[in-house]
Each structure stands twice: as structure tokens, then as C-alpha cells.
Amino acid sequence: MVWHLSYEDNVSFEGVENAADLTGCFSLTNPITVIRNSPEGGEITGGPFEFTVGDGTPDTIAEDDIVLADNVGANSIWLVTNEEETIILALADSYTKLDFDDTEAGTSLLWHLSYEDGLEGLTPPDEEDEDHLISGLLGCFSLSNSITITKTATSTTAKSGLALYPNPSKGTVNVDVSNFSSNKDDLNLKVYTLQKIQIYSRDYNLKNSNLATFDVNGFEGGVYFVRVTDNITGKSEIKRLVVN
């Protein structure tokens, strides 16, 4: 409750913890009720999870594989961060909607976030900027504990070797496939956003070359994933691309 107090000089506040303990000449207004929200991210149990990424098979978490308890808040969302707990890599209203297959090998962390209306910085991570840092969240929110997601590349992907350059880029991107596959005349290249939205696809015949190129002039600045697939063998590899 919030009140306004008018008082004369004979009112002392020393040692007073409650309005009923005030003595002297004073008057209080009517009160205004203040409701203080305190969200709790809750506790999540399940996992850790391990996926083999880049093989074209969806890598998702099944319903009921994670249990959320003791969360409090007007809004709820699941988010994925890097291992350092600094960058928001993906957002979803359900952990079952996250597919890790088109992400790079390595370690990610899965969290539950409870928050009140007005939270700033919680935007879809299409770009690698401050809006997608945990430290960039402004408002009333709380994170749960995290669950580790370990992503291992397929054996074929590990032995292959796509090279993207320049990376970062703001114009033409060169994709060197010389160590990717012996078949160069039936390759497909796709580009995805961090939200797994395909924004580019092209087939290449590189029988007399080891270099596929494409232009990112029309792309918004941010992080993308480039996936090259051998249409004959089905072998594929994913590389991360940063567009300036």
C-alpha cells in the first residue's frame, strides 16, 4: 500500500516500522494498492539430451521428456542459449517445437523463462546483436535452471569439409566443396535463418569446379546456416554464415 503523509515537526520516524507506531500530529491519505509481481522461471527436469546433427533427421525433444514445475508469471517461453549463457539462439512456446538438426555441432543450453508484460529484448533471434543477449533483456523475468543439449556432427559431416569465405560477408559468398564430395554435378545449397526458415535454395553442377557462389546482398544482417547436400548420396553438411 502507498500512502501520503502530512505531519508537523513533533512527529518522529526513528525506530518506527509500522504506521500504527507513529505519534504526534500527522494525517494519512487513503491508500493506493500496489501489486508486486515476482515471476519464477521454475525448475525443469529431464535430459541431458544428445543429438547427431546435420543428417536430415529431425532432432526434437518429445512431449513429456521435460517436466516444468513451480513456474510463476503472466507469460512463458522456452529459449536456447550458447554454452556461455550469453546469446539467445532460439525461442519457442514449446520445447517440442525446437529442432536442433540444422544447428552447428557443440553444446547449447535449454531454459524456461517466465516474464511479465513489457519485457524488452525478447525478439526472434534473426540477427546477432545486443537484442539477443541475455544481458539485453529488460523487465521483470526469471530463468529456470538449464538442461544441456549436446550436438554431435554425423561421421560423414565430420570427415567432409565445406569452407565458406568471406565469412562474415555482405556480398558474394564462396562455398568450397573440394573436400565435401566426389560428386560435384548434382549438389543443392540451401540457406536458413536461425528460426529454421529456408530463404534460399539452388542446385549446382560443379563438374569442372569446386566452388559454388551465391549473393547475400539482399539478406538482413545476422546469422544464417548454409546447408549443402549431395543429391545422389544424401550426404549433407551445415556451416554457419554471418552476414554484415
Q: In angstroms, rounded to a whole number, what is the distance separating the alpha carbons of residues 215 and 109?
A: 32
Residue 236 near residue 222, CB atoms below 8 Å? no
Is the domain of 75 the same as that of 126?
A: yes
The C-alpha cell that represents 139 in the structure block: 523487465
Give the number of domains in the chain: 3
Return the CA Rg of the chain. 26
What string of H, E and C letters represents the secondary structure of 92-137?
ECCHHHCCCCCCCCEEEEEEEEEECCCCECCCCCCCCCHHHEHHHC
pLDDT at 36: 64
Indicate the residue among 153, 182, 208 that finishes a domain. 153
Is the domain of 143 the same as that of 97?
A: yes
pLDDT digits 0-9 by tens, 213-239: 999 999 998 889 999 998 888 888 888
Beta bridge partners of 44: 68
Give 11-46 as a DSSP string.
---TT--SGGG--SSEEE---B-------B--EEE-
pLDDT digits 0-9 by tens, 42-97: 999 998 999 988 777 789 999 899 999 999 999 999 999 998 888 898 999 999 99
How many Cβ atoms sit within 10 Å of the Cβ of residue 199? 13
pLDDT of 155 higher than 70: no
Average pLDDT, the chain: 86
Is the domain of 23 the same as that of 87?
A: no
Q: Please choose, from the candidates 129, 88, 128, 125, the residue with its C-alpha nearest in 3D space to the C-alpha of residue 110.
A: 88
pLDDT of 149 higher than 70: yes
CATH number at residue 200: 2.60.40.1930
pLDDT at 196: 80
Is the domain of 75 the same as that of 26?
A: no
Q: In angstroms, rounded to a whole number, what is the distance separating the alpha carbons of residues 144 and 66?
A: 13
Which range of residues forms the domain containing residue 232? Answer: 157-243
Indicate the residue among 153, 186, 220 that finishes a domain. 153
Is the domain of 130 the same as that of 179?
A: no
Q: Which carries the bigger pLDDT value, residue 63 or residue 126?
A: 63
Q: Which carries the bigger pLDDT value, residue 57 or residue 185?
A: 185
Is the domain of 49 the same as that of 25?
A: no
pLDDT of 146 higher than 90: yes
Is the domain of 92 the same as that of 111?
A: yes
Is the domain of 94 the same as that of 168?
A: no
pLDDT at 131: 56
Is the domain of 143 the same as that of 66?
A: yes
Indicate the residue among 153, 179, 195 that finishes a domain. 153
Is the domain of 48 the same as that of 134?
A: yes
Is the domain of 103 the same as that of 173?
A: no
CATH number at residue 58: 2.60.40
What mean pLDDT comes out for the span 121-130?
64
pLDDT of 126 higher than 80: no
Under the banding of pLDDT at 50, 70 and 90, the label for residue 211 is: very high
pLDDT at 157: 42
- The whole model's pTM is what? 0.54
Is the domain of 165 the same as that of 228?
A: yes
